[in-house]
Amino acid sequence: MPSDENDRPAGVAASEGITLQELQLAARNHGMPLEGLRYDVTPIGLHYLLIHFDIPGADASAWTLSVEGRVRHPLALSMDALRARPAVTLTVTMECAGNGRARLYPRPLSQPWLSEAVGTAEWTGTPLGAVLEEAGLEDDAVELVFTGADHGTQGGEEQDYQRSLTIADATRDEVVLAYEVDGRPLPPQHGFPVRLLVPGWYGMTSVKWLRRIDAVAEPFEGYQMDAYRLRQAPDDPGVPVTRMQPRALMIPPGFPEFFERVRTVEAGPQVLEGRAWSGWGPVVRVEVSVDGGTTWEDAALGEPLGRYAWRGWSFAWDATPGEHELVVRATDETGSIQPTDQPWNHHGLANNMAQRVVVTAR
């Protein structure tokens, strides 16, 4: 279902000003203020949030997660049944696939993220693979379709939020049905009472308010599969967006001006700090430029918080008086490096242009 002129989320802004529709989304959803990079684990109200439709009301005591379709033993799991299964806790960095969209020109019309659509949390749940094993996938099953309780219209199509994974991706050890975050039941906005969690992938994959898993014999072609593809034009078939591209972010140094958010630092020695991650493999290098990207130096890397979480970085900077443009970029073990100019795509997805922070040292 290629997008068209009336398909507003796939539309492109006619002017530089953010529209009322984009503002409505920005007022509901929120990014992590970048000083939140200070915390290993993001305090829950600071973790980014993107909700396509409305947060559904949910009664955990009545909730059932069903596993059906091409399975030999359909399951209907209560929350008690899920909690009785083996539990794992994973520290996971999650980013919205649309992060950075509002820096594209022309600007794809959807949630207008700048750089803040990220967060790291400790999720507890039960591995999906063992649940699927218990259900017994039929030989002709090729994908699992995950259905959330959030319901609405997008691209002219009324839908429950749905995304699929291949069986190989769904049965990876780290894929879990998560019912706690940071040691407490999920808050409503993060998928209470249970969500899918797919570490390493952009957040659209980790279906919230999960109520059904269908094993299917054909690849799923629902709206949200079509919407998350890298394409140059609405009629381009494109390629699916999956894992997070490498990205480093810095804690903006010094202090801000309220409205413009321009920064002031004290001249002299200081330490720039931040976090870096990639869904394709460990970040192996973070580089900092203090001259707008002309020259680069390596930052020191901290220990990763886990296989699926960001790692800290730090960089000693002797700030001379005047204005400086700080830039930071990450490289992951596959050799993928963040661009300093942003390639454009029609939906504004998987943008990982290097962050730039302008500061004046005094």
Which of 2, 12, 19, 234 touches a second copy (CB under 8 A)? Answer: 19
State the CB neighbour count (10 A cutoff) for residue 173.
12
Is residue 151 at the binding interface for a second copy, with CB under 8 A as the rule? yes
Two tokens at 92? 């996971």
Is residue 106 at the binding interface for a second copy, with CB under 8 A as the rule? no
Is residue 266 at the binding interface for a second copy, with CB under 8 A as the rule? no
CB 279 within 8 A of CB 323: no
**Smaller CB separation from a second copy, 20 or 168:** 20
Is residue 51 at the binding interface for a second copy, with CB under 8 A as the rule? yes
Shortest CB 93 distance to a second copy, Å = 17
Shortest CB 15 distance to a second copy, Å = 6
Is residue 24 at the binding interface for a second copy, with CB under 8 A as the rule? yes
Q: Is 213 exposed, middle or buried (0-12, 13-18, 19+ CB in 10 A)?
A: buried
Is residue 255 at the binding interface for a second copy, with CB under 8 A as the rule? yes
Kindly state the DSSP code that residue 16 receives in the 8-state scheme. S
Kindly state the DSSP code that residue 10 receives in the 8-state scheme. G
**Smaller CB separation from a second copy, 5 or 139:** 5
Is residue 191 at the binding interface for a second copy, with CB under 8 A as the rule? no
Count interface residues toward a second copy (CB under 8 A).
62
State the CB neighbour count (10 A cutoff) for residue 185.
15
Q: What phi and psi values does residue 216 have, to the nearest 5 degrees? A: -125, 155
Go through 214-232 and write b for each residue having 16 or more CB atoms within 10 A of its CB, e for each that does not: bbeeeebebbbbbbbbbbe
If we measure between CA atoms, which residue out of 255, 249, 248, 263 comes closest to residue 324?
263
Is residue 50 at the binding interface for a second copy, with CB under 8 A as the rule? no
β-strand partners of 73: none
Calculate the CA dihedral of residues 296, 282, 33, 40 and round it to 10 degrees: -120
Residues in 112-131 at the binding interface with a second copy, rule: CB under 8 A: 112-114, 116
CB 142 within 8 A of CB 167: yes
Is residue 261 at the binding interface for a second copy, with CB under 8 A as the rule? yes
Is residue 52 at the binding interface for a second copy, with CB under 8 A as the rule? yes
Shortest CB 78 distance to a second copy, Å = 22
Q: What phi and psi values does residue 149 have, to the nearest 5 degrees? A: -85, -5
Is residue 1 at the binding interface for a second copy, with CB under 8 A as the rule? no
Residues in 169-188 at the binding interface with a second copy, rule: CB under 8 A: 187-188
**Smaller CB separation from a second copy, 11 or 246:** 11
Is residue 271 at the binding interface for a second copy, with CB under 8 A as the rule? no
Q: d(Cα 304, Cα 310) in Å, to the nearest integer?
A: 6
**Smaller CB separation from a second copy, 78 or 360:** 360
Q: How far is the CA of 46 from the CAs of 30, 35, 38, 143, 179, in angstroms?
A: 8, 10, 12, 33, 19
**Smaller CB separation from a second copy, 17 or 240:** 17
Place of tokens 């969690």: 197
Is residue 207 at the binding interface for a second copy, with CB under 8 A as the rule? no
Shortest CB 331 distance to a second copy, Å = 26
Which of 55, 170, 305, 349 touches a second copy (CB under 8 A)? Answer: 55
Which of 1, 4, 23, 240 touches a second copy (CB under 8 A)? Answer: 23
State the CB neighbour count (10 A cutoff) for residue 274.
25
Which of 25, 137, 204, 354 touches a second copy (CB under 8 A)? Answer: 25
Residues 6+ apart with CB under 8 A from 133: none
Is residue 108 at the binding interface for a second copy, with CB under 8 A as the rule? no
Kindly state the DSSP code that residue 12 receives in the 8-state scheme. B
Is residue 154 at the binding interface for a second copy, with CB under 8 A as the rule? yes
Is residue 77 at the binding interface for a second copy, with CB under 8 A as the rule? no
| Residues near a second copy, by CB under 8 A | 8-9, 15-31, 33, 35-36, 38-39, 43-47, 49, 51-55, 57, 102, 109-110, 112-114, 116, 151-155, 158, 187-190, 252, 255-261, 264
